[in-house]
Amino acid sequence: MLKILNRRSVKLQIKKMFKQKVLALILAGGTGGRLGLLTDECAKPVIPFAGFYHLIDFALSNCLHSEISDVWVIEQYELHSLNEHLSNGRPWNLDRTYGGLRILPPFENDEKSKDEGGFAHGNADAIVRHLKFIEDFKPDILIVLSSDHVYKLDFRDVIETHLEKKAALTMVTTKVPKGESASRFGVVEVNKNGSVSNFEYKPDKPKSDLITTEVFVYDAKILLDALKQLSKKDGELKDYGDELIPKFVKEKKVFEHRHNGYWRDVGTIKSYWQSQMDLLDENTKFAFDDDDWTILTLAEQRVPAFIYRSAKINNCLISNGCKIKGSVEHSILSANVSIEKNAEIKDSIILPNAVIENGVKLEKVIVDAGVKVSKAKAEKFEKLKKENKKDIFVIGKYKIQSQSEVEKKQ
């Protein structure tokens, strides 16, 4: 009898979930300063990843597989590169007459105000600036997502937890990834029933190794009311970890939904490099070749990679259009990369249309898109590498940048 009642309860919960009007909001407006020169001419959400994909593909693909048909993208920085990739939502089946993908660019709320071109000053502020549009849509549930995280997650499971707990906010949590510091994230403490008892945003001394993945499922009405209250009180909000989430934890019912699979925030040079090195590890749980949960993208049509007789390749991801005459080990090559004869590449990420010239040797670097690495540039890199042996370096068209240099500016 108990089993029958449980099945009925689950069915009722599923029916209730599909009656909810769900809106997914992807925050894609940050400048991506922690990625250094990689975002000088490119929006962070469309930086190449794993040779073939782009960072925002993961959030969009998760929405597709979770059957969320209303997805809005809040954008701000380098709009052209982002809009070109989004392509009206076509790759993710979001190019629809009704619903689908909606792009929210920056705009000035009041011509007489000092609105600085309508640019938001944090992720909470970005949502506040579009409150009217969200209110007009009248969602029951609002899912807020970041555009620079690598993971696979069925948002329907999170919504089910949210409805079952009758929560005002359900945050997806996970354990701190290996090699990362909890101080980079929102740190969470939870009770045995999954309720969130404490939240600290990027604390110097974390009290827990449980962090938010920046996947938040809100009761839309409660969220909008809270944003209005905070805006009226403080004038301008910045990041939601500063005031919004602490307010929810203090005053509302907040629960966690634990994610035990692969998840990485790739918003820094180190994490961007490490997460892609993870993909070359056979023991990594994250896999792109999952027929049940494909990661979709917009990609140019290119000829297959050409591997010359002189080439030596071991444990790599090689994209279409590549021409390889040299040696490549434990590395990822994006589309249309050329590795000339006698060049040696190891533990590196080479972005689209880059050329590694004859005799160049590179290890543990990220080469930016369209960069030609000559022997002279490689020698300059080697000199800098001796000064910072543990650093990951980015080789750009006009400069070479270490992760330490970027971190000092933040």
In angstroms, the first-to-last Cα distance of the chain is 59
pLDDT band at 9 (very low <50, low <70, confident <90, very high): low
Mean pLDDT to the nearest integer, 43-68: 95
Residue 288 has pLDDT above 80, yes or no: no
pLDDT at 116: 53
User: What is the residue extent of each domain of the chain?
Assistant: 2-279, 306-409
Question: Of 389 and 5, which is predicted with more confidence?
Answer: 389
pLDDT value for 387: 87
Burial class for 232, CB neighbours closer than 10 Å (0-12, 13-18, 19+)? exposed
* Interval 10-34 mean pLDDT: 74
Three-state DSSP class for residue 38: helix
Place of tokens 């690598």: 150
How far, in Å, are 38, 99, 114, 120, 391 from residue 410 at the CA level?
15, 38, 25, 18, 16
Residue 87 — left, alpha, or beta (φ > 0 → left; ψ -120 to 50 → alpha)?
left
Beta strands per DSSP E along 203-343: 210-219, 254-258, 263-265, 306-307, 312-314, 317-318, 323-324, 327-329, 332-333, 338-339
Nearest to 336 by CA among 364, 360, 300: 300
How many Å apart are CA 231 and CA 235, to the nearest integer? 5
Q: Count the helices and strands in the chain (H runs, E runs).
A: 11, 28
Phi, psi dihedral angles at 179 (to 5 degrees) = 85, -5
Q: What percent of the chain has pLDDT over 90?
A: 71
Q: Return the minimum-mean-pLDDT range out of 119-128, 208-217, 260-269.
A: 119-128
Kindly indicate the confidence band of residue 368, based on its pLDDT and cuts at 50, 70 and 90.
very high
> Across residues 20-26, what is the average pLDDT?
95
Tokens 């939870």 correspond to 190
Alpha carbons 107 and 288: distance in angstroms, whole number: 37
pLDDT at 312: 98
Local confidence band at 291 (pLDDT 50, 70, 90 cut-offs): confident
Contacts with 153 (C-beta within 8 Å, 6 or more apart), sequence order:
62, 66, 172, 215, 259, 261
- Split at pLDDT 50, 70, 90, the class of 1 is very low
Packing angle of the helix pair 79-86, 56-65 (nearest 10 deg): 30
> CB of 140 within 8 A of CB of 20?
yes
Q: If pLDDT is split at 50, 70 and 90, which confidence band does 296 have?
A: very high
15 has pLDDT over 60: no
3-state secondary structure of 47: coil
- The Cβ-side half-sphere exposure at 405, using a 13 Å CA radius, reads 13
Is the confidence at residue 222, as pLDDT, over 80? yes
Mean pLDDT, all residues of the chain: 89
Q: What is the pLDDT of residue 18?
A: 57
Which position has the higher pLDDT, 6 or 231? 231
Average confidence (pLDDT) over 229-252: 83
- In the numeric block, the tokens 């609105």 are attached to 115
Averaged over 394-400, what is the pLDDT? 95
Spatial distance between the Cα atoms of 329 and 348, rounded to a whole number of angstroms: 8
Q: Helix (H, G, I), strand (E, B), or coil: what is residue 46?
A: helix
Please give the CATH topology (third level) of the domain spanning 306-409: UDP N-Acetylglucosamine Acyltransferase; domain 1 (2.160.10)
Among 100-104, 164-168, 289-293, 397-401, the range scoring the smallest mean pLDDT is 289-293
DSSP string, 54-78: ETHHHHHHHHHHTT--EEEEEE-SS
At residue 408, the pLDDT reads 83
pLDDT tens per residue, range 334-363: 999 999 999 999 999 999 999 999 999 999
**Does 132 score more than 70 pLDDT?**
yes
State the CATH architecture for 2-279.
Answer: Alpha-Beta Complex (3.90)
In this predicted structure, what is the pLDDT of residue 159? 97
Q: How far, in Å, CA of 190 to CA of 169, rounded?
A: 14
∠ Cα 278 83 78 (to 5°): 80
Angle between helix 2-19 and 155-165 (nearest 10): 110
Closest residue by Cα to residue 34 from 354, 267, 356: 267
Q: What is the pLDDT of residues 148-196, one digit of tens each?
A: 999 999 999 999 999 999 999 999 999 999 889 999 999 999 999 999 9
Q: Which of 221-235, 276-290, 329-343 has the highest mean pLDDT?
A: 329-343
Q: Of the candidates 255, 89, 62, which has an alpha carbon nearest to the alpha carbon of residue 154?
A: 62
Residue 406 has pLDDT above 70, yes or no: yes
Span of 21-35, 103-117, 137-151, 273-287 with lowest mean pLDDT: 103-117
DSSP string, 153-196: --HHHHHHHHHHHT-SEEEEEEEPPTT--GGGSEEEEE-TTSBE
Q: Which of 75-79, 175-179, 307-311 has the highest mean pLDDT?
A: 307-311
The pLDDT of residue 115? 52
